[in-house]
Structure 1
Amino acid sequence: MGTPRPLAPAWAGRSRLRWAAERCRPSPSALTRIRGWRADECRRARRKDVRVLEVRAATEADLESAAECIGEAFAYGDDAQYDAIREEVLHTAHDDPFASLEDLRVGLIDGVVVSTVAVMPRPIYVDGSLLSMGGLAGVCTRASHRHHGYNTAVLRDTIHYIEGRGHDISLLYTGIHGYYERLGWRSFEHGVAHDIIVPNEVAAPPFRGSVRPMRADDDLAAVREIYDVTNRGDAGPVARNAAYWTYHSDRLASYHVAVVDGRVVAYLHDNDSKRIEEIGYLPGAEDAAGALVADVVRRAPSAVERVYLHSSEELLPGIEELGCGVEQLGCDPDGQRGPTMYCIVQPAALLDKLLPRMNERLAASPGAGWTGVVRLQSGVGNVDLRCANGSVTRVPDAGPPAITLHGTHAQTIELVFGQIDAASLVTRPDDLTEDAAAVLEALCPRLTYRYYGPDTF
């Protein structure tokens, strides 16, 4: 009798995992029972977990819940920061001179605000014209309700809302560009900042007046006038009215003014002598602005080696004469984009607001005698401008254009803010005669872009 052959293992010819899976497979009758049970459980779970997101404007009753939502999202566990954010939300809702409670868009589940977008209406200057800008802030969702598309739903509601409110353009600040690009915003990589290198000794500026802290009761009217004179012809700065200055009156303690013969001719807003947030001065008072910068550098704490300067490139030669080094701040060392994004909301209405200044410039330009249609084809629609007899009008479908400009949405934003030459968008270079080039320069001049840090949201 021979030696019996060993029995083959139970998983012979199959992997252990496959064998284990087959061993655990229920019988057909058991499968039927399990599937029925699972289907019932899923139906019960869906009925239990279905939550309808209500998206609308906030009411006074929603405000505390909305403030909690925004504070939770942006305080990152810091109790003091949470309290400050919450108070700022309440202050904005009740006191911001340009905003109303309706501008706070909310998503609610069972009466609790779980997602928010705050619209911050602001009038902004573009070369003397006023545009209506709907800024976005407080874009967030409670941590417990994320990854369900709630904030996207609130943002889509917000887009319709800012269109309905007649805003021409929208602004936001973010580090997640791709998300907002899908919804229509475009990155805007303009605006220049510098670091002033603090020297051991600051040279005395050639200024015959005096520098002192601002006295709000006495100086505010003059500072407001200087702000408007400085910024009205630029692109982007907020057109601050009297109520706006009052709303931000807590900042005025950080302002200094330069005075000549009893008259305020320049002002400067700094942050603990570490950041120069803005400078304004009357025409011809560059020396006063330089004296204000010298005062900040002298007041800088001994540990401060650099003072941040926002914009004000025209003052750099005078700052260097003080013995200060100056370094321009560029993009992130890793090549990351800056936080600023814009979206043109109402292209035709926006252009209509720019037309009066276009007419003034065209009438005074060498191209005043040029006749023809300029067509702008962009990612936000086509617009035709008819030029004749030194004036320009917007005409729908004006016929074959003499000049066609073709630009992306991002390039159109740059064109509106005067950051690129219109000639760079001409589709047929042969159309760009000397007169046509003069017309484009009059319609779309190069401008200085400014948006001051204290006006961000």
Structure 2
Amino acid sequence: MTSQPSITVANAPSPQQLEDIFNILGEVFPVGKAFFQDRLLNDSSYDPQTTWFATVEGKVASTIQIFPLHIRVGQAVLKIGGIGSVGTDPCYRGIGLAQSLLRAQTEWMKQNDYDASLLLAIIHAFYEKAGWKLIPEKGCSMPKPDPIEPPAGYEIVPFEAQYLDQLRHIYEQYNDGRTYTLIRDEAYWNDLLLWPAWTQADCLLVRHNGRIVAYGLIEKSDQAKVFIQELVYLPEAASAVVALFTALGQLRPHAKHVLAKLPDDHPLAEYYKQQPQAEQLDLNISMWKMIHCRSMLQKLRPELEHRIRSSEYAEQKLHLELRAGEDRFWLNYADRKLAVSQQADPFAAYESLQLDPWQLISSVIFGYEEASGGIDRPRQADSAASAILRTLFPKQQAVFYLTDKF
């Protein structure tokens, strides 16, 4: 009778265990060991507890990293666990190590104030077993355009480190209240310049009257299709955005098409629509898992209250029962104040709102859309419930910048 191997799941690796983790990732991924070292060891906020690993008979055999992300939803901020650096020593595959790590990480995130978890993957079935589910996003593709000169008084210049504070200011102003964008403090920006997402991209700036008013990043790639990772601007630079975009494309002589993820209100979104050969793409890589629904709703409460106050329901009383999978919450709005409770008011008549956990996440990030029904995407019973959901979760100008991928 063959004995079962001794398997342990833990976090906060020792220096030697962390080195073993980097060795596994370097073996599993073609980008090499240094890619993962540069991302983790140059992160001044790195917490060893976010590095998880499984050992077999004392040998590090599998690893998964949690990247703490703080994303905006209007004026609210949610704590998201980005799941990345997933790797298993080929000698130990097939015995469920990664699934064990994902389960342990989920429980740890529940205990550490995480609201939801996001991972970027193309192999969906593996992560669906652990509770993550694909929420599709949209992208745009168009043939690489010829260069366009910027408007008079604007010039396109290469990035220099002395401009970093100006880039941070542009990012903060453009993304204030813009859903799905990350909070980037000063330390994050300083660290970012050392991370692969930045060093494996080129950055161009728009200067006007001696000030930097826009910037863009394009991935370093010799492929026929390349991604714009980020293109952010101040209002005064809107007319120069297309020129910046075409200048970024010229940095990639081998590229035939340029791709981007864009909110609808971005000048490039309209520019793409005007190009006869442009096309919209389904980006099926973002998978989500609800971690702590109550925590999420409590953090969203001020933003939801603001949305109701700005709607036709502002002076009404609302009693809403929100069901998200097995979770149930009662939202009571009166006298322009919103309360979120885990207990119903026995004297109130509640309007029922039913979403599955992934539809709730999608509604929070992108805005509520009426589902087609079925087990996975329940249909609201009436138009009144749908109208309230559209008030709570209106369409968002949401964007996740590829610079922040993990």
The two structures have a TM-score, normalised by structure 1, of: 0.78
SS in 1 for 2:278: strand
Counterpart of 1:213 (choices 158, 181, 192) is 158
Deviations 1:162-196 (A, max 9, x none): 11121111011223322322322111102x32223
| Shift of residue 320, structure 1, vs aligned partner | 5.9
Amino acid at match of 1:70: L
Aligned to 1:7: none
Counterpart of 1:155 (choices 102, 109, 114) is 102
Aligned to 2:47: 100
Number of aligned residue pairs: 389
| Shift of residue 210, structure 1, vs aligned partner | 1.4
Aligned to 1:53: 7
| Shift of residue 410, structure 1, vs aligned partner | 1.9
1:178 maps to 2:125 = yes
Query: What CA RMSD, in Å, does the superposition of the two structures yield over aligned residues?
Result: 2.6
| Shift of residue 406, structure 1, vs aligned partner | 0.9
| Bigger mean CA offset, 115-124 vs 87-96 | 87-96
Aligned to 2:26: 71
Counterpart of 2:180 (choices 236, 259, 262) is 236
Quote the sequence identity (%): 24
Counterpart of 1:315 (choices 267, 272, 275) is 267
Q: Confirm or deny: 8 A CA contact 1:227 1:280 kept in the other structure.
A: yes
If you compute each CA radius of gyration, which structure gives the higher value, 1 or 2?
1
Amino acid at match of 1:310: K
- TM-aligned CA distance change 1:426 to 1:147, over 3 Å: closer
| Shift of residue 412, structure 1, vs aligned partner | 1.1
Aligned to 1:328: 279
Amino acid at match of 1:366: E
- TM-aligned CA distance change 1:155 to 1:307, over 3 Å: same
Give 1 or 2: higher strand fraction: 2
- TM-aligned CA distance change 1:390 to 1:441, over 3 Å: farther
Deviations 1:387-410 (A, max 9, x none): 111221102222355321111222
Q: Confirm or deny: 8 A CA contact 2:367 2:393 kept in the other structure.
A: no
Amino acid at match of 1:293: F
Deviations 1:285-317 (A, max 9, x none): 31122221132244442x432222232543247
Aligned to 1:5: none
Q: Confirm or deny: 8 A CA contact 1:276 1:307 kept in the other structure.
A: yes
1:259 maps to 2:207 = yes
Mapping of residues 17-416 of structure 1, within 5 Å: 42=1, 45-46=2-3, 50-57=4-11, 58-75=13-30, 81-82=31-32, 86-190=33-137, 192-199=138-145, 201-217=146-162, 219-250=163-194, 251=198, 254-272=202-220, 274-301=226-253, 303-313=254-264, 314-316=266-268, 319=271, 325=276, 327-331=278-282, 338-379=284-325, 381-399=327-345, 400-416=348-364
Amino acid at match of 1:456: K
1:450 maps to 2:399 = yes
CA–CA separation in structure 2 for the residues paired with 1:107 and 1:272: 34
Deviations 1:333-385 (A, max 9, x none): xxxx8121011111111111111222223223332111021121112511211
| Shift of residue 136, structure 1, vs aligned partner | 0.8
Q: Which runs of 5+ in 2 are unaligned?
A: 373-377
CA–CA separation in structure 1 for the residues paired with 2:220 and 2:92: 39
- TM-aligned CA distance change 1:326 to 1:256, over 3 Å: farther
- TM-aligned CA distance change 1:423 to 1:109, over 3 Å: closer
Q: Confirm or deny: 8 A CA contact 1:404 1:426 kept in the other structure.
A: no
- TM-aligned CA distance change 1:305 to 1:141, over 3 Å: closer
Give 1 or 2: higher helix fraction: 1
Amino acid at match of 1:285: A
